[in-house]
Structure 1
């Protein structure tokens, strides 16, 4: 949270609502920092881990296969990723950490052109020249050359849409709808015509605010590469709070920066499962699954708070409550106690993302020229299937190398197979302000059309594959214009009404949209409370 939080009293009682990685890691950090307090981690579903789900099942031949039905990789350049990997080392799971190297086939990325053909994202002079010849690059060169000479905004600091910001800086709409909208589809599943530039493009936004131009900011800002490597402020806090060895942590941070992405053997869910197991063994943590919180109430004695559970149970005498769900879900829990705050929270909507897994054993049907991480679909594409992007899981998995063990000691499987994940929906599901979810059968047919048209995969191979559809409902908050001001107003009201006894976490309140971001946010707040 942006606001300060008071230190917890001795032997305090804490409830953490929601056991995605935000709730799990907040509980993990706080339990270690304050072994005297009692933590109740409450989850409405029968499993923990939230949207991270590595589904272990059997294929058509009754052979085991793992399908990622949520996030599958982590950014190497991230404080939150360092926290994750260091936690896995502490939990004796370091051998599960895998990396994709910068020169790996899986680090190649593509975009879907306006003609439904894949275009490689530039990684060399040759691929840059090829990209510039594609219609997607229209307006890019003139936009970049003219950007330093375009005037600063008339109202500095005032938020605007991503498309408006890009139009001002690059002098056209093409850079946004042809190129950068694809990236926003991959990260947020949302429409650049409605998203907050200040929230989702903070680094570029800050460069314009400070230097009057993005390009001038890039060239004038001192990179500090000649300085001796040091821990970031967050990792310094972590080192001090947990008594970590500075050299070891610095070496880990520096090492992970070499890798564009990381993964885990057995799937990304290896991480929340390891943390859950650690919490199960913690004497001051109680994990309660299948329990949904219906409301938060002040104790009649005005000392602490109570949680009313939908099963009829009541958890009493709580000194602090951590809420990690979407703003809309949090609003329902606060409605009885603070209607005005609940209405403010309910303003934030969230996108549904449809994930479609395709697995074909015995054949690799991804053409060699297209092998990479996958491709994203920009808003300039006609896109009748409402596609956001496609991830080439089998290419990524074959590119993984262990981080902490000798690469030579690990032999990769030579068995041919194809594994893909299509992402659909997001803002495309909204019609007249209401979400419209297609059936699983219609969704699979749409993805078959996409893979046949974009990648040339035969109908026979598509029909022979294993298919699975997952709908991640309300998984990504919609960061609309003014979001930062909205968050500030919500946190100020929480501080005013509850004196720091209620804090919020998760994607709706973290500094960034990814798994590492919500974990970094949880660490900061756990340290404040401890």
Structure 2
């Protein structure tokens, strides 16, 4: 938020709208920091966890399987990941944590070239040479060699699109339409010509602003690291968020440092049973907290503002019930959904929130038992589709779940074997749509039959999976409707304006979290955001 949140009064009442991982973790941290505060969490669905959804289903033979219909892995280097792992450890559930080792085949990533062949993202001399000889590598060497000498933006500090900053810094448009477009479609489901560089490509944006170029930033950062190593304090330090976490919850600093350093060794982490294991564990823990109440399957329909008592706020839910007297309201849903909850006399704020559209992602899961239908040369995390590819099926990318699952190793419980390690099966998740579904700002979703047919064609053409195997498999179709806010150019300025208008209208009684208002949209990022705001409210 723009300014620090005001400490809650003793025995305050707090409402949280949105039972995704952001709302759950905000509730968890606030309830631990302030056990005197009464918290009510409202979730519109009959389950919590939001877009993290490890779906238990059955294959065509009636045997139980799990397919991921949302995020499935975490980055080990993130502060938010440390908070997740430490929370699991606090709750006695660290045995569920799994890791992928550096250099493991499951960490290999591919891009689809213009001729629909998979090309590995460089991770060695050999793969680098192959990549540079492919059309996807065009402009990479000359772009990088000249990056140091290219001029900065003529408007320093002004936001621009990712495509704009990449093309300017590297002197061509090949890198943006090939590598970078694929990467950001995989993360945000959006077009780099529309995405904010300041919001979604921060490192390059601020490198240019501060150092003049990325090459110069690398040189300056190497010098700083060299100085830090001499002091020998770097290894034992905690970053701002983790330092605050340690102080606020009385954590053993050395154990947190050790955990952080351990997690940084792994490029990818996951959880036994799927990533939804974490929000499920947090939800179960909240069930034991006497100061927390969770209301599901009853959407919030309206925020009730009382002119006579501006220090409290109320909510009306779909069933018609009203919940009054909240000292603070935490909103973790998307901006456009928040707009629908505002009173009619707040049209200007509603219109501002409605400016942020959201992308819809279609997820298609494929499962084939008793056979690995993937060519072993293509075993890896999966592949993404660049903007330069013709891409008639509007494919964002495909994740090779079975390869990841077979290569997971227990991180803390080393003696526990991976039950999937020796199994033969194929499990894939295709991601479709995003900005490519939008027509005049509205997502137009093709039918289940049309979508699955297009995915079959892609898996056959790109991966060589036979039509026989494709027809024999189990298929799941899911529409993640408007799940990702569109981080357009100028998003940070929009967010600042939205937060200011909320403060002008509601004072300190409302705060926002979730993907639309955190610093970044990843699972670890929204958790850090939730902790930071819970801490401000508890001080």
TM over 0.5: yes
Residue 436 of structure 2 corresponds to which residue in structure 1?
428
Residue 362 of structure 1 corresponds to which residue in structure 2?
370
Q: Is the 8 A contact 1:117 1:454 kept in 2?
A: yes
Distance in 1 (alpha carbons) for counterparts of 2:93 and 2:283:
13
TM-aligned CA deviation for residue 407 of structure 1: 4.9
Residue 287 of structure 2 corresponds to which residue in structure 1?
280
Residue 510 of structure 1 corresponds to which residue in structure 2?
518
Distance in 1 (alpha carbons) for counterparts of 2:179 and 2:36:
52
Residue 248 of structure 1 corresponds to which residue in structure 2?
255
Q: Deviation per CA, 1:17-51: give whole Å up to 9, x if none.
A: 00000000000000111111110000111000000
Q: Is the 8 A contact 2:406 2:418 kept in 1?
A: no
Q: Which runs of 5 or more structure 2 residues have no equivalent in the other structure?
A: none
Equivalent of residue 449 in structure 1, options 429, 447, 457: 457
Q: Is the 8 A contact 1:296 1:336 kept in 2?
A: no
Q: Does 2:386 match 1:378?
A: yes
Q: Does 2:508 match 1:500?
A: yes
Q: Is the 8 A contact 2:407 2:421 kept in 1?
A: no
TM-aligned CA deviation for residue 2 of structure 1: 3.5
Residue 154 of structure 1 corresponds to which residue in structure 2?
154
Q: Does 2:199 match 1:199?
A: yes
Residue 351 of structure 2 corresponds to which residue in structure 1?
343
Q: Is the 8 A contact 1:56 1:66 kept in 2?
A: yes
Q: Deviation per CA, 1:170-229: give whole Å up to 9, x if none.
A: 111111001110000110000001110111111111110011111111122235261422
Bigger Cα displacement from structure 2, 360-369 vs 53-62: 53-62
Distance in 2 (alpha carbons) for counterparts of 1:465 and 1:119:
26
Q: Is the 8 A contact 2:406 2:423 kept in 1?
A: no
Task: Report the secondary structure of 2:484's partner residue.
Answer: strand
Bigger Cα displacement from structure 2, 425-434 vs 93-102: 425-434
Q: Is the 8 A contact 2:75 2:268 kept in 1?
A: yes
TM-aligned CA deviation for residue 112 of structure 1: 0.4
RMSD: 1.2
Residue 59 of structure 2 corresponds to which residue in structure 1?
59
Q: Does 2:306 match 1:295?
A: no
Equivalent of residue 406 in structure 1, options 414, 417, 425: 414
Residue 90 of structure 1 corresponds to which residue in structure 2?
90
Q: Is the 8 A contact 1:297 1:337 kept in 2?
A: no
Matches within 5 A, 1:127-206: 127-206=127-206
Moved over 6 A (4+): none
Residue 460 of structure 1 corresponds to which residue in structure 2?
468
Q: Is the 8 A contact 1:51 1:70 kept in 2?
A: yes
Residue 25 of structure 1 corresponds to which residue in structure 2?
25
Q: Which runs of 5 or more structure 1 residues have no equivalent in the other structure?
A: none
Bigger Cα displacement from structure 2, 218-227 vs 430-439: 218-227
Query: For residues 223 and 127 of structure 1, do their structure 2 counterparts lie closer, same or farther at Cα, with a shift above 3 Å needed?
Result: farther
Distance in 2 (alpha carbons) for counterparts of 1:47 and 1:516:
21
Matches within 5 A, 1:213-232: 213-221=213-221, 222-224=223-225, 226=229, 227-228=232-233, 229=235, 230-232=237-239
Residue 257 of structure 1 corresponds to which residue in structure 2?
264
Distance in 2 (alpha carbons) for counterparts of 1:32 and 1:527:
10
Q: Is the 8 A contact 2:121 2:127 kept in 1?
A: yes
Equivalent of residue 404 in structure 2, options 396, 403, 409: 396
Distance in 2 (alpha carbons) for counterparts of 1:91 and 1:145:
50
Distance in 1 (alpha carbons) for counterparts of 2:333 and 2:103:
38
TM-aligned CA deviation for residue 300 of structure 1: 5.6
Q: Is the 8 A contact 1:3 1:491 kept in 2?
A: no
Query: For residues 436 and 377 of structure 1, do their structure 2 counterparts lie closer, same or farther at Cα, with a shift above 3 Å needed?
Result: same
Bigger Cα displacement from structure 2, 245-254 vs 493-502: 493-502
Q: Does 2:118 match 1:106?
A: no
Q: Is the 8 A contact 1:3 1:492 kept in 2?
A: no
Q: Is the 8 A contact 2:22 2:514 kept in 1?
A: yes
Task: Report the secondary structure of 1:239's partner residue.
Answer: helix
Query: For residues 148 and 407 of structure 1, do their structure 2 counterparts lie closer, same or farther at Cα, with a shift above 3 Å needed?
Result: farther
Q: Does 2:48 match 1:48?
A: yes
